[in-house]
Amino acid sequence: MPLPGLSQLMSGTLAIALNYVATFYMPSTRLLRDPLETLTTALPILLAGHVVIMGLTLSVFKQCSTKTTVISIGYALLITAISTVVLHGFIVLFGASLVEKFNHTLAFAAYLAIVALMPSFTALAPAESGTWVKCFLQHSPTTGPEIYAYSQTICTLSGAWIGAIVLPLDWERDWQAWPISCVISTYLGHAVGVFTAFGWSSKAVVLYLYVSLAAKPMLCIIAAHPYQRNGSEP
């Protein structure tokens, strides 16, 4: 029995690797030293990488036409751009300064939008609007792609929020500077989302393995028992 959502797992794993390389490896500066320059360098790498992953997933795994793939990528980029502005507003409402470190907040909003939303489009596209409503408004994903889209987005956003908890603490650590802890927790949140989705969507595999490895041999033993073979006690 093949693993459900194998293409989603591969796409999610590639996204984790891309997020790590673009955030912590590729920039010439380090996140702890200059978060703004690091994010400015990472954002185009992230966006281009997620577009490539989405294009490969749609064209190779889902076997979509070139037109469908291009349209889906266009929608994903449009929604990501709009979400950057919306997330920037929410981040300010949650306590970030509106004026001070404005560029830092905007860069983090763009980072969060890319990491949270592009994998969702990779998992779900091409999908009708009803699927998105079922997934994110009704919170009832059922299929493998829906579970991967929902889990990655929710865990990424939750990770970003959890990272902000340490900011007001009086520890005076370098990583408490805005928005370093949120960037790190956003990356970790997405990674948790991928593996959570894998476990969530693999319940059928666990049940299948249990039946195959445990229940089936027991049934064979019972069938071979002399009481069952002769139909009566000796």
- The alpha carbon of 155 is separated from its chain's Cα centroid by a whole number of angstroms, namely 7
Mean pLDDT along residues 3-30: 87
Q: How far apart are CA 153 and CA 93, in angstroms?
A: 20
Residue 192 confidence (pLDDT): 97
Q: What one-character DSSP code corresponds to residue 176?
A: G
Residue 159 confidence (pLDDT): 96
Contacts of 229 (CB under 8 A, 6+ apart): 223
Q: Given a cut of 80, is residue 4 above it in pLDDT?
A: no
Q: Given a cut of 60, is residue 233 above it in pLDDT?
A: no
Mean pLDDT along residues 124-139: 92
Range from 72-76, 98-102, 188-192 carrying the lowest mean pLDDT: 98-102
Q: Given a cut of 90, is residue 137 above it in pLDDT?
A: yes
Residue 156 confidence (pLDDT): 97
Q: How far apart are CA 115 and CA 157, in angstroms?
A: 9
Residue 217 confidence (pLDDT): 54
Mean pLDDT along residues 202-213: 59
Residue 136 confidence (pLDDT): 94
Look up the pTM and report it: 0.84
Q: Given a cut of 70, is residue 5 above it in pLDDT?
A: no
Range from 96-100, 102-106, 183-187, 193-197 carrying the lowest mean pLDDT: 96-100
| Exposure of 150 in the CB half-sphere (CA atoms within 13 A) | 21
Residue 207 confidence (pLDDT): 54
Contacts of 124 (CB under 8 A, 6+ apart): 131, 132, 135, 145, 146, 149
Percentage with pLDDT > 90 across the chain: 66
Mean pLDDT along residues 217-221: 51
For residue 133, what pLDDT band results from cuts at 50, 70 and 90?
very high
Backbone torsion region of residue 2, taken as left when φ is above 0, otherwise alpha when ψ lies between -120 and 50, otherwise beta: beta
Would you say 192 and 154 are in contact if contact means Cβ atoms under 8 Å apart?
A: no
- The alpha carbon of 25 is separated from its chain's Cα centroid by a whole number of angstroms, namely 20
Residue 114 confidence (pLDDT): 98
Q: Given a cut of 70, is residue 208 above it in pLDDT?
A: no
The residue whose two tokens read 């445990």 is: 214
Structural tokens at position 87? 């997330």
Mean pLDDT along residues 37-51: 96
Would you say 11 and 53 are in contact if contact means Cβ atoms under 8 Å apart?
A: yes
What count of other Cβ atoms lies within 10 Å of the Cβ of residue 160? 28
pLDDT digit string, tens, across residues 102-128:
999 999 999 999 999 999 999 999 988
Q: Which of 132, 127, 115 lies closest to 194 in space, CA to CA?
A: 115
